[in-house]
Structure 1
Amino acid sequence: MNDENEGEPVPAHSIEVPVIGTVVGGHAGRLDDYKGGVESIIRLRPEYPVETLKGIEEFSHLQVIWFFSEGAPDDVALHARSPRDNPAWPATGTFVHHNHRRPPRLGTSFPKLLRVDGLDLHVTDLDADDGTPVIDLVAVFREMLPRGVVTQPAWPTEMLENYWAPASDRPQ
């Protein structure tokens, strides 16, 4: 093993992925909480034929991968930090956080599918903002969700107490 590069950052590799659609409506303003009950549309790009969605209306939820487009590459933070800068929560590494500060700047959501209208997927509880580029979506299969007991420390539950609270409950 060559030690002469020890301590230097690993060169980044990148891939190119298509943007398949855009979020229309819903959230705006990069809010941390009160994401529940908001309806939005995932509008697929017009080059995709309607048949790419055939059968999707039989599923209750989608898995959506989207790009944190309102952030910037300079937002990426490769160090341990307390979530939401709250010192009551432990400093955790970059790949523990679910935000725009991770290198790929991708988010994953599991919105409820309400209806399909052409290339528009009407959903609720999609926590991406209006105008967000959508990278991928797929119907949720129960069998593809985590198996077994999911464990975590207490702080995510504390931090996300109001994450899925209805937007109408947000203090003005």
Structure 2
Amino acid sequence: MNQELSTAQAPAAYQFRPIGVVRSPRTVPQHDHWGDVSAVIELDPEQLEPDAVAGLDQFSHLEVVFHFHLVPESDTVRGSCPPRGRGDLPALGILAQRLKERPNRLGVSRCELAGVDGLTLHVRGLDALDGTPVLDVKPYQQIFQPAPETVREPTWLRAAMSAYYF
């Protein structure tokens, strides 16, 4: 780490104001079967003007940044644990998995954009619960993804996550 940018000099906290909220039929956390879940992201007209979504309907998918608002800060993991609470998998550091109990409780998800109706975004496959605060929405763009042949993952990951969207 750069000596000039030590954590002692970093701001103590950041504050974000949600730009919207998720409306979903799912109200309790579940590990799997998110692919067919239809939901709505209601964007806040106090945060965004109507033309903030201009052109968004030209994209098939979104990347949504949200806050795991139902996870108490006291439940966050700052070290390691088995993914999905499965003792048959090796313990991984919290930064090596996508667990909701992360230190800042931020989630990032890709989902299909089914439609745009004013400041209402209709989506499928968003793995966020009803009432989840949305911090940002970005169009998914393949140009920003790494070349598939350069991606490396643990061998057990595909089997462990095989039902996530199916």
Could you tell me whether the CA contact under 8 Å between 2:84 and 2:99 is conserved in 1? no
Matched residue SS, 1:158 = helix
For residue 92 of structure 1, what is the aligned residue in structure 2?
A: 92
Bigger mean CA deviation after superposition, 76-85 or 28-37:
76-85
Unaligned runs of 5+ in 1: 1-10, 166-172
Could you tell me whether the CA contact under 8 Å between 1:23 and 1:41 is conserved in 2? yes
- Residue identity (%): 33
Could you tell me whether the CA contact under 8 Å between 1:27 and 1:35 is conserved in 2? no
Amino acid at match of 2:31: D
Matched, 1:14 2:10: no
Structure 1 residue runs of 4+, over 6 Å off? Answer: none
Matched residue SS, 2:80 = coil
Amino acid at match of 2:157: P
How many pairs align? Answer: 155
Amino acid at match of 1:160: M
Q: Give the CA deviation at 1:83.
A: 1.2
- Considering fraction of residues, name the structure with more strand: 2
Could you tell me whether the CA contact under 8 Å between 1:20 and 1:136 is conserved in 2? yes
For residue 159 of structure 2, what is the aligned residue in structure 1?
A: 158
Give the 3 Å change call, closer, same or farther, for CA 136–154 of structure 1 in structure 2: same
Q: Give the CA deviation at 1:64.
A: 0.4
Q: Give the CA deviation at 1:75.
A: 1.0
Root mean square deviation of aligned Cα: 1.5
| Alpha-carbon displacement from aligned partner over 1:10-56 (angstroms, at most 9, x marks no partner) | x9832112200000123221001111111100110022211000000
- TM-score w.r.t. structure 2 length? 0.88
2-structure distance, mates of 1:120, 1:108 = 19
1-structure distance, mates of 2:130, 2:56 = 22
1-structure distance, mates of 2:85, 2:49 = 44
Unaligned runs of 5+ in 2: 1-9
Amino acid at match of 1:22: V
Could you tell me whether the CA contact under 8 Å between 2:83 and 2:99 is conserved in 1? no
Could you tell me whether the CA contact under 8 Å between 2:66 and 2:106 is conserved in 1? yes
- TM-score w.r.t. structure 1 length? 0.85
| Alpha-carbon displacement from aligned partner over 1:106-161 (angstroms, at most 9, x marks no partner) | 11111111111111000000000111000000111111122342110122212211
Could you tell me whether the CA contact under 8 Å between 1:75 and 1:100 is conserved in 2? no
